[in-house]
Structure formats: structure tokens, C-alpha cells
Amino acid sequence: MIEAVIDKCPHIETERLVLRKWEERDLDGLVEMNADPLVMEFFPSVMSRQDSERMFERLMFKQEKYGFGTPVVEERATGRFLGLCGLGIPSYPEPLPFDPCVEIGWRLIPDAWGRGIAQEASRIWLGFGFEILLLDEIVSFTAATNWRSEKVMQRLGMVRHASEDFNHPLIEEGHPLKRHVLYRLSKEQFLRQSHG
């Protein structure tokens, strides 16, 4: 789907954020974030250290394979790990109904909530995806009850068609998080928003 032509995950700094590749030093921040019940409210459970280590290995593998893997968000002033945000290619054991796709996703520590960080970082990565990687479409999805993430998707100009809502293949039947909403953003929609 994507040819390796350039280093697809640059180091980007804004006034308050650093967006960058994963490094070994980020593991402890990932473990701490994934063990926080607030952060993991819309996931089936909090993650053990071992689960987070496996996730870290997957992120590093995708970063090596594709040039990106839902990159790190760091606070510029302090160097503090705030979470992850950016483009990724889902790789579940069972395919999603809309595969193949490139997803924009985020997961941030609670101290980073309500400050527009997910939206700021996402806008940068959407621009990168459409203008540098030349993607035609980027998707985002979350549990149907996760209104906070849905609001971010809406602020980013992404569009949901209720007929495309789906049951996540890795969540057991009857689980309250089984139903997911899907949002899409095309290159044309993004460029219209960006350039008026």
C-alpha cells in the first residue's frame, strides 16, 4: 500500500510538543499510561507490563517496516512522555471491515487531556499523510461510547456514516465496547479544510 521512499516519521516540534519516533526510553511511559484505568476506560482492560512490552515491540516493528507507527507525543518544555498520536496501519489477527487502511489514532495520559493536544498532533500527521505520503484516505475508529475521542474526530473534520459502524473483531460478543464507530477523511476533504 505504501512504498518506502522517504523517512516517513520525521521529528516535528511545535511550540509545546515534540512528535517523534519511538525510542527505548519510551517504554516506561507506555507501561505507565497503559496501566492507568482512566486512559484504558474504552479498552477491554488495563495492560500489564508484559502486554505493554509486546505493544512496544509491535510499534517498533511497524516503525521499522512502514516508517511510522503511531509516534510519540512529548512535552517540549519538559521532555515528558504524554502518549502517542499519529498514523498507523492496523494489524489485528482478524481483519477490520474496512481494511486495508491507514488510521489516525491517539492515546494520552490524563494530564494531557482537555488541552487540544490530540487535535494539534493529529492535524500535523493528517497533513503529513495526505501531502507527503499522498494517501487518499485516513480513518479513525473507537468504541461507540467514547464520546471524547469522537469529538476529536469531528473537530478534525472527519465524517461518520452510521451504516459503517462495526463490531470490533477482537472484542467478545456482548461486551459493552464491542460496537465501534468509524470516521473517514479523504484527501479532498482535508485539502478543502486546510486551504479554505
CA-closest candidate to residue 56, choices 121, 107, 10: 107
Ranges of each domain in the chain: 12-195
Neighbours of 102 (CB within 10 A): 19
Whether the predicted pLDDT of 3 surpasses 50? no
Q: What is the pLDDT of residue 4?
A: 43
Q: Superfamily assignment of 12-195 in CATH?
A: Gcn5-related N-acetyltransferase (GNAT) (3.40.630.30)
Q: How confident is the model at residue 66, as a pLDDT?
A: 85
Is the distance from CB of 136 to CB of 187 less than 8 angstroms?
A: yes
Considering just the CA atoms, what is the radius of gyration of the chain in Å? 16
**CA dihedral for 64, 45, 154, 26, sign (positive or negative):** negative
At 84 the pLDDT is 98
The C-alpha atoms of residue 180 and residue 140 are separated, in whole angstroms, by: 10
**8 Å CB contact between 68 and 59:** no
Is the pLDDT reported for residue 9 higher than 80?
Answer: no
pLDDT at 105 over 60: yes
Average pLDDT over residues 166-186: 95
What values do phi and psi take at 114, rounded to 5? 70, 15
Q: What is the pLDDT of residues 46-78, one digit of tens each?
A: 999 999 999 999 999 989 888 888 999 999 999
pLDDT digits (tens, 9 = 90+) for 128-146: 999 989 999 999 999 999 9
Strand partners, 181: 142
Grid cell digits, residue 22: 519511538
